[in-house]
Structure 1
């Protein structure tokens, strides 16, 4: 951690030489505690973002922010601050929908990320050691004194210094880095969610290669939008249906008929969804679960875009990654023996299905998770 902390401080000092002691403290406070201890209401977060962006962009008011801007790329720059967090800056051209999403991921981060006071104390020790080694003696002494005062006050949150605000005009939000990585897919999910008419229902499907992060992406959507998630692994094909004739057909090693009958059709009818997830270790259905009725849900897993299911989705995402990354992730998950099984059996079945049914080509968005940690 010491080296990572020193790299972070060195980088910020080089990029922003006007940083004052409280700005270094604020950087590390955000690194530990994120955007704060209390999650704001989404409506409040959105309103503040609209107003702040309008001021920063020189617009006459929040109403002047356009609803849409072409493209799904993250408008502002992303700056890692460590500990799985980043700052997303309000530079660039933002739209109202992008600001709504930023407000949602900001609120989700506030709910999920909780720092530790003891860890922060250790980080502040690292800050003072770094300052003694890097900063001019007088500046290091000032930083040590101000940091000591803040420690005595209980390590409160602070604002940027006046010099920092004047020089750099900071406008950003601290969010989990994974949300920045998944931004295009989250924006697509938000569009689906916001397209649902009163009393209506919509589904977004996430298909793709094993080890690419389908379940992780679905979990991010559940956290940001509060939506239920259906997992295709719960509808694994039971032994009595694994006939040579069926398994010879691409994509037929999932019980898509049961998924349609027990999940998609009740969901579309506005009803709770009740089913028994298949227990792969026992080879039989497990205990029944019930998912309450909702207006928007996510379906994740290989074969979720099977031709018999595709027409039930409003939009879809195909998740992929480089083969070397796939191997590393699956090996880390289950060991070398597990990777050997995937390589010999499951991956060839998936690739045959992808090719036979043009799964990636027909998806609304492809998300390559190769660069993601």
Structure 2
């Protein structure tokens, strides 16, 4: 979605849009919400207070305002049963990853001006020029919504990068799980380069989870016999996972396990899994039936074959990409097919 598309969508969704609100949208598209996070403790307190005051709504969770940024509705977040404690890290992560871009801001304003001149926004060219003249007298700066917009639209949202929207359905499923005295367990299986590790890393920050990586349980070279690798999922050291991890899952207690190093091709040190409300087992083969039903929620991370190879090539280089294509991806696909892994998932994303 381009900035023009976003402006036209906002004009349609919010007919009380004023020049001041368009400038605010263009500013947010270019700079995000970093200016609101000078003191994160105050920003979090303000979010919690605002969230408790808004009514719950069963509406869309977000509206796009640029190719990279969306406005996540607090009433909708509440209506979807999502806790505000999960939204604040998304807001912080989004602000931290934004690059202030004055040129993008001015380009967005130029696009808005063309739409106003063409009569495609809900106010006159004269009103637009009058507000812009007033705005630039104090230089480039963030602005509030107009009083008319606040009265009619009741805006209540936080800015979040669109790259995180992929996780929203998964977060909803996680929020719907009943709380327990122990730890709730999420398993994320899926195809190579589909974003499993990235998703787990983000969830670690969003829901304060501890993460166990299946990469730490690759089968050591001395165990990679033809017989073993012919088994679906045989290239994961599931015996060690069963011994070192499985007994601890679901228990609200820290533990540690020995990690396999893909660089050294051997066991290399121990990894500590801290006590937490959530445990995430991330990586291919995490749904292996030999582990039983250890997880409260199963999520499958998917990707098309063409994009998969493009990502692997970019991430690992051409030599490693060829090894993935010839060896690791076929082994994964064998496992997915043999055990109907995508169909076993509670949610695919």
TM-score range, shorter chain: 0.7 to 0.9
Give the superposed CA RMSD. Answer: 3.2
Number of residue pairs aligned between Structure 1 and Structure 2: 338
Give the equivalent residue in structure 1 for 2:170: 185
TM-score by length of 1: 0.77
- SS of the residue corresponding to residue 24 of structure 1 reads helix
Distance, in Å, in 1 between the alignment partners of 2:23 and 2:334 is 53
- Given the alignment, which residue of 139, 142, 153 partners 1:151? 139
| Structural mapping, 1:62-141, within 5 Å | 75-76=59-60, 78-82=62-66, 84-89=68-73, 96=78, 98-101=80-83, 103-114=84-95, 119-127=100-108, 129-130=110-111, 135=116, 138-141=126-129
Distance, in Å, in 1 between the alignment partners of 2:290 and 2:45 is 39
TM-score by length of 2: 0.82
Contact 1:267 1:293 in 2 (8 A): no
Distance, in Å, in 1 between the alignment partners of 2:345 and 2:310 is 26
Which blocks of at least 5 consecutive residues in structure 1 are unaligned? 58-68, 70-74, 368-373
- 1:64-86 CA-to-partner distances (Å, cap 9, x unmatched) read xxxxx8xxxxx415322236321
Distance, in Å, in 2 between the alignment partners of 1:272 and 1:308 is 24
Q: 1:366 to 1:184 in 2, by over 3 A?
A: same
- SS of the residue corresponding to residue 245 of structure 2 reads helix
Contact 2:32 2:69 in 1 (8 A): no
Give the equivalent residue in structure 1 for 2:321: 339
Contact 1:204 1:313 in 2 (8 A): yes
- Given the alignment, which residue of 24, 27, 52 partners 2:25? 27
| Segment drifting more, 137-146 vs 109-118 | 109-118
Q: 1:116 to 1:28 in 2, by over 3 A?
A: farther
Contact 2:250 2:279 in 1 (8 A): no
Contact 2:189 2:299 in 1 (8 A): yes
Q: 1:144 to 1:106 in 2, by over 3 A?
A: same
Shift in Å, 1:162 = 2.2
Give the equivalent residue in structure 1 for 2:179: 195
- SS of the residue corresponding to residue 318 of structure 1 reads strand
Distance, in Å, in 2 between the alignment partners of 1:254 and 1:240 is 13
Q: 1:346 to 1:44 in 2, by over 3 A?
A: same
Distance, in Å, in 2 between the alignment partners of 1:116 and 1:264 is 35
Give the equivalent residue in structure 2 for 1:308: 290
- 1:108-164 CA-to-partner distances (Å, cap 9, x unmatched) read 133223369993544444355446655456345323323224537xx24x3211233
- 1:152-207 CA-to-partner distances (Å, cap 9, x unmatched) read 7xx24x32112333454444432232332221111222334x5222xx12211000
Shift in Å, 1:364 = 1.4
Distance, in Å, in 1 between the alignment partners of 2:43 and 2:33 is 16
- SS of the residue corresponding to residue 276 of structure 1 reads strand
- 1:205-232 CA-to-partner distances (Å, cap 9, x unmatched) read 0001112221122122112101111110
Q: 1:253 to 1:227 in 2, by over 3 A?
A: same
Shift in Å, 1:100 = 2.8
Contact 2:214 2:281 in 1 (8 A): yes
Contact 1:29 1:120 in 2 (8 A): no
Contact 2:185 2:249 in 1 (8 A): no
- Given the alignment, which residue of 181, 184, 205 partners 2:187? 205
- SS of the residue corresponding to residue 289 of structure 1 reads strand
Q: 1:117 to 1:141 in 2, by over 3 A?
A: farther
- Given the alignment, which residue of 253, 260, 273 partners 2:255? 273
